[in-house]
């Protein structure tokens, strides 16, 4: 059910893809060993959730400020690559899941870069 209370950023495809990626990571870390709860699992979910959080937070700002938040989301995307790689190397996720994470993050990174360029052109 959709909420009666709607925010404009919720219409952004990039926001929705970031939400979906965060949920995917959450599902993945549920299978991590218990001792990883406050180590890699915590870092991975914070980085993944940071994507949508920064997009939402920056969306109500000026284009220049929104660009800054998009840069933080882009940085978090790259942090997710490292977390996914570490999770694969430690045997917490499969090579296939790491490859899926990389595909999702690549798509999100490209969308963020395109959106940043759009905002910069719009500001001129």
Show the tokens assigned to 15: 């926001």
Percent of the chain having pLDDT more than 90?
89
d(CA 50, CA 21): 11
Question: What's domain 11-123's superfamily in CATH?
Answer: 23S rRNA-intervening sequence (1.20.1440.60)
Cβ neighbors of 120 (< 8 A, separation 6 or more) are 63, 67
Distance CA 75, CA 23 (A): 19
Give the pLDDT of residue 50.
98
Which of 47, 41, 50 has the alpha carbon at shortest distance from 81?
Answer: 47
> In the structure, what pLDDT confidence band is assigned to residue 1 with cuts at 50, 70 and 90?
low
Per-residue pLDDT band at 120 (split at 50, 70, 90):
confident
Which pLDDT tens digit goes with each residue over 49-76? 999 999 999 999 999 999 999 999 999 9
- pLDDT at res. 121: 87
For the chain, what are the domain ranges? 11-123
- Residue 119 in contact with residue 69, Cβ under 8 Å? no
């Amino acid at each position: 059910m959709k909420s009666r209370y709607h925010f404009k950023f919720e219409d952004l495809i990039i926001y929705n893809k970031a939400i979906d990626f965060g949920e995917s990571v959450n599902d993945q870390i549920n299978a991590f060993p218990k001792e990883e709860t406050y180590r890699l699992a915590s870092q991975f979910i914070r980085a993944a959730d940071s994507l949508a959080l920064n997009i939402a937070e920056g969306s109500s700002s000026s284009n220049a400020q929104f660009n800054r938040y998009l840069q933080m989301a882009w940085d978090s995307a790259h942090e997710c690559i490292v977390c996914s790689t570490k999770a694969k190397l430690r045997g917490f996720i499969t090579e296939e899941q790491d490859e899926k994470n990389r595909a999702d993050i690549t798509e999100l990174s490209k969308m963020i870069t395109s959106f940043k360029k759009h905002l910069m052109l719009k500001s001129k």
